[in-house]
Structure 1
Amino acid sequence: MFASIKRLIGSAGAARDEGQALGAWAKSQGFAFKRVKDKTGGGYVVETDKGWRVEWGSSQRPYITGHELRFRCDTGLPGDVQMILLSKVVAQTLESDVFSRYTNAMQTQIDNTLPDEMRWLAMHPRVSLNTSAVLAKRFALFCNAEAVMQSWLDAPTIQELESAAANWWTDGLLLVMTVNRGMLTLRMPGQNVEPGQLQMVGKLFAQMAARMRQVAFELT
């Protein structure tokens, strides 16, 4: 299963120590960097002074092979708000794999084996991105709380997403941003991580997280 995702992201390439790139980026930003160990072999953690963190380690999702890079932030949003933002190309690929599993007679535990965000593609309404022609063309946003997401998409947030779309967030990039149980998470493959890439993704995530926390505050 998920063969189409593997084709989309290509080969993981030769193994290397991604901690060198993470450590160099963390040092340049003044963030704390440490190595962690666990049953799966461990990884690396970057603690920022902005209320969010970066984790690198074994993939926690079947659609990401090998290792995974995660940006995470507790937003303070209500725990029942669920959101997924990704490129339309990746959304279509994930939806295709979901459909394949639903139509596979041998798969009887689909609701328990699929990650939450993959089920949301079918469960939750698509949120309009028509305030930005660039975003409407390139991305898909699904959420069970549309008013919250529309409030989140203020002018600076839209501008940051448009900049990412123009400079590095390509159609086929396997980058998935979710909100679940109040946690904003950005997931992407953890192979071939470079400081320049971390700089761009970190800048986007910092804007997304700050705005999400502001929206959560306004809801209280």
Structure 2
Amino acid sequence: MFASLKRLIGSAPASRDEGVVLGAWAKSEGFAFKRVKDKTGGGYVVETKEGWRVEWGGSQRSYIAGQELRFRCDTGLPGDVQMVMLSRVLAQLLESEVFSSFTNAMQTQIDNTLPDEMRWLAMHPKVSLSAAAVLAKRFVLLANAETVAQAWLDAEMVRALEEAATTWWTDSLLLVLTVNRGMLTLRMPGQPLEPGQLHMVGQLFSVIARRMREVANAGA
């Protein structure tokens, strides 16, 4: 399973400690950095002054091999709001894996063991991105609350996403943005970490988190 994803992003690199890179980035941004331990070996956590955090550790998703990097923020949105945004290339790959899993198992309903965002690709309607040509060409946004999704996409948010889409958020970057149970999460492979990429992803996530909180406060 997920052979097509492996072809897209390549095999997971050899395991290494990314704490030095993550710690140096956190220090340069003025964030708090600490190591955490658990039964699976632990990882690292970065706490920001803006209230969002970064977690590095073992992957929680089958489509991300090895280590995973998660940017997370409590938005204050209602717990039943569900959104997922990712590149069209990645969406097509994940959709094909869902279909393959569904047909191979001769199932009559979507497998609840699949990650939420993979099931949403089949369950939730697409949100129109026609007002943002760059995003419409490169990305897919799905949600069960279109009013919330459209409110989130204000002019500043669209500009930030379009800048990412034309600079560093390439089709070969496995990156998935979700909202679920009020929590905003951005997932991506956790190795190798690059300072420049951390800075750019962190900047974008900061804008996304701030806008999500504004939408929640406005009661959209």
Using structure 1 for the length normalisation, give the TM-score.
0.97
Write out per-residue CA displacement over residues 107-159 of structure 1, whole angstroms, 9 at most, x where no aligned residue: 68952210111000010000001111100000000000001010000000000
Q: Cα offset for 1:105?
A: 3.0
The amino acid across from 2:157 in the alignment is: T
Write out per-residue CA displacement over residues 150-189 of structure 1, whole angstroms, 9 at most, x where no aligned residue: 0000000000000000110001211000000000000000
Unaligned runs of 5+ in 1: none
Once the two structures are superposed, the pairs formed by residues 174-213 of structure 1 within 5 Å of their partners are 174-213=174-213
Divergent runs of 4+, >4 A: 106-110
Pair 1:166-2:166 in alignment? yes
2:52 is matched with which residue? 52
State whether residues 76 and 213 of structure 1, in contact with CA within 8 Å, keep that contact through their aligned partners in structure 2: yes
1:119 is matched with which residue? 119
Separation of aligned partners in 1, 2:155 and 2:123: 28
Q: Cα offset for 1:192?
A: 0.7
2:76 is matched with which residue? 76
How many residues align structurally? 220
2:20 is matched with which residue? 20
Query: What is the percent sequence identity of the aligned residues?
Result: 76
Q: Cα RMSD between the aligned structures?
A: 1.3
Pair 1:37-2:37 in alignment? yes
State whether residues 15 and 66 of structure 2, in contact with CA within 8 Å, keep that contact through their aligned partners in structure 1: no
Secondary structure of the 2:125 match is coil
Q: Do the aligned partners of residues 191 and 109 (structure 1) sit closer, same or farther apart at CA in structure 2, a change above 3 Å counting?
A: farther
1:67 is matched with which residue? 67
Unaligned runs of 5+ in 2: none
Separation of aligned partners in 2, 1:148 and 1:215: 7
1:10 is matched with which residue? 10
Separation of aligned partners in 2, 1:201 and 1:155: 19
The amino acid across from 2:136 in the alignment is: A
The amino acid across from 2:70 in the alignment is: R
Separation of aligned partners in 2, 1:59 and 1:168: 22
Q: Do the aligned partners of residues 106 and 124 (structure 1) sit closer, same or farther apart at CA in structure 2, a change above 3 Å counting?
A: closer
1:146 is matched with which residue? 146
Shifted more, 203-212 versus 164-173: the winner is 164-173
State whether residues 87 and 172 of structure 1, in contact with CA within 8 Å, keep that contact through their aligned partners in structure 2: no
Separation of aligned partners in 2, 1:110 and 1:63: 17
Secondary structure of the 2:128 match is coil
The amino acid across from 1:156 in the alignment is: E
Separation of aligned partners in 1, 2:218 and 2:110: 37
Q: Cα offset for 1:7?
A: 1.8
The amino acid across from 1:2 in the alignment is: F
Write out per-residue CA displacement over residues 25-73 of structure 1, whole angstroms, 9 at most, x where no aligned residue: 0000110000001111110000000010000000000110101000000
